[in-house]
Structure 1
Amino acid sequence: MQREKLGSRLGFILLSAGCAIGIGNVWKFPYITGQYGGGAFVLFYIFFLVVLGLPIMTMEFSVGRASQKSPVRAYHALERPGQKWHLHGYVAMAGNYGLMMFYTTVAGWMLHYFYLMASGQFVGADTEKVAGTFVDMLSKPFVMAGWMILVVILGFGICSVGLQNGLERITKVMMLALLFIMIILAVNSITLNGAADGLSFYLKPDFNRMAKIGIGKTIVAAMNQAFFTLSLGIGAMAIFGSYIGK
């Protein structure tokens, strides 16, 4: 059976971006940037993104594209006799399984919250009630399991249609919708009271704050964020690279 390929460069870019853009960038990045010195942290982040992140991402894409196989089989296909690179393939597979366990659970939370919002249960709710709703949800494992199972079923359903007709097509729609939503949220956020103070905390370089936390901790946080941004280290980019032609 011939292995299906992605139908367009746009599909490949959006699929890779869909893997990389997540909680770590939308939610974690703003607060961790402010915590570690604002614009000063961003400088370290960009440095590690360019010096470490982009080269490793290119290498992962290359491994997948050259082998046209999954991370486990890719190393077997490319390594020389006696080499042990294939051991990382098993680590990558375990990492991807762990990542899916995490994201299917969180996606289930999101569907649950969407249901609560659509049914009007958040109308007039203050922050304490919203926080209490989350705590209440965590106390109901069967509710969380139900939404998680629904996410898994939806995922399998999309993949069963095929790479181009299923995954690539839905990714184009969802990623463009995400971009639109993020633009709306960004524009709305800068119109809120205290937006100027928030932007200052987020982007204004504060080396005193960085020194107080520790330069070493800041560097480690910037490196972690750079790798998290590009979803590196678990073969995710190699998987996407394997679905584009040589």
Structure 2
Amino acid sequence: MLSNLNVEDILFIDIETAPQQQDFSELNDDFKKLWDKKSTFFRTEDQGPEEVYERAGIYAEFGKIICISAGVITQKQGERFYRVKSFYDDHEKKLLSQFNDMLNKFMSHPGKRICAHNGQEFDYPYIARRTLINGLPLPKSLDIAGMKPWDLKDKLIDTLQLWKFGDYKNYTSLSLLCAVFNIPTPKDDIDGSQVAKVYYDDGDLNRIIRYCEKDTLAVANLLLRYKGEAIIPMENMIIA
């Protein structure tokens, strides 16, 4: 499969999410009860639901998307470049509408695919769920409810699933695989666990956007490494 992939036909994406509200106390009574019930599966006995609310952004029912970055590999005079565009807004419906329109146009061309790390378990279903919650039509490529993983291979690529080679090992992070394959990553970035704080406490959406964009380049470079090809240096990333 890897040998047949044309990397220039792939849209590499990453999403950043945050809890619906900055603090647990801002939830209405119904959602406080629902989060209390949901969080019993992972919080310790001495923790209350408010103490683990920062994890709410992981769940589409309690979180929201604040940024989606999408990039493609291009060539100019034999040299590869990475062109990336981000969709971001405090109003989730607006960014989803813009991203979904772009995705539909991109995927309307034959042979096009989407790629994300852990996309099968996170990015793809999260975008689809939040699209429906916001009352928007699903992009055709993400209208995948009920489909089997092997039915998705012509549309959706997941660098985590490729790394599993059919086994059932635990999650392997993008940062670990970048280290394994000697893919340079910026050392001054935030990580996923800090996104909610940077968004709500610092109000620094631009920092989150840059982090999201660099993650999509890391995914693209990981796929290139899988194929035994040279990676694209950070200085060849073009922000649209």
Normalised TM-score (structure 1)? 0.25
Normalised TM-score (structure 2)? 0.26
Structure with the larger helix share: 1
